[in-house]
Amino acid sequence: MHSGQAIGFFDSGLGGLSVLASAKQQLPYESFIYLGDSANAPYGTKSDSEVLALSQRAVAELVKLGIKALVIACNTATGVAVQPLREQYSFPIIGLEPALKLAANTSQGGAILVMATPLTLKSQKYQQLYDQYGHRAISLPCPGLMDFVEREEFSGSALDSYLQNLFLPFQGTPLAAVVLGCTHYLFLREAITRHLPQGTPMVDSNDGVTRQLIRRLKEENLLAPQGPAGNVRLISTGGLEKAEQLARMFRLAQRLL
C-alpha cells in the first residue's frame, strides 16, 4: 500500500455514491474507485451467507485494481462482512452503521425512528448498537424502499403511497429524529421529509464515515499529498446502462451535499 493508490468504495448499488460524494468533497486530492454491485442488488433481503459471498467477491475485484483503503458504503454489507474482511485484508476498512448513536446524543425526548433494510436491523452489529443507544429507538424495516432509488424514482404516487403506509403507525408519535440507516435513503430525503412532522431532524452516517476514513489514513500515513485533484472511477456489475446510471447519480449526489 502507498499514499498514491486509490480508496476503494463498495456498495450493493447506487446508495453509497452519497458517501463517496462526501468523501470526495473533503478529500479532493484522493482518487477513488467505486464498485456498485447493481447486478445483485438489493442486499437487504438476502441471507447473511449471500451478502458475505457477494461482498468478498466485490472487494477482491477492488483489490486487483490496487486500493490502499476500503469503505463499505452499505449498512447491510457492513453488518455482515466488515469483520471477515478486516480479518482477510491488512488495509484500513471503514464500515457504516445507522447513526443511532448520533441521534441519541443530539436529541432530547421523543422517539427515534431508525429506517433501514430488514437485514441491517437483524444484524448483530446493529443489535449491539441498539443495546447501547436504543432506549428511545424504534427500528423500522423498509423492504423495497431502496429500489425506488435504483429506479431513480424520487417522487410520484407509488413512492408517496409507500411512505404514507410506512409512517402511518407513527402518526401522533412525538419524533426526536429519524435515522436514514441505508445510504440509498439520502436520495429520498425530500420525499421522506414530506411525510414527517415539520422540523423533524434526519441524521445519517456520511460525515462520520468520512471523518473515520481521514483518521485511519492519517494513522497509516496514507493520505495523498496535496496536488492535482484526484479522479473517480465508477464500476458497475450491472453492465453499461448501470454504469451510466452510476455517473448520473454521482453528479446528483454531489449536488445534494
Catalytic residue among 54, 74, 116, 177: 74
d(CA 61, CA 75): 20
Report the candidate in 31, 43, 28, 39 with the shortest Cα–Cα distance to residue 79: 43
d(CA 121, CA 138): 11
In the residue annotation, 142 being an active-site residue is answered as: no
Cell of 171: 402518526
Please tell me the total number of residues recorded for the chain in this structure.
257
d(CA 98, CA 251): 24
Half-sphere exposure of 90 (CA within 13 A, CB side): 3
Residue 202 dihedral angles phi and psi, to the nearest 5°: -120, 135
Cell of 173: 408519535
Distance in angstroms between the alpha carbons of the first and the last residue of the chain:
30
Pairing of strands 67-72, 32-36: unpaired
d(CA 22, CA 99): 16
Q: How many CB atoms lie within 10 A of CB 42?
A: 24
Catalytic residue among 182, 203, 209, 246: 182
Catalytic residues: 74, 182
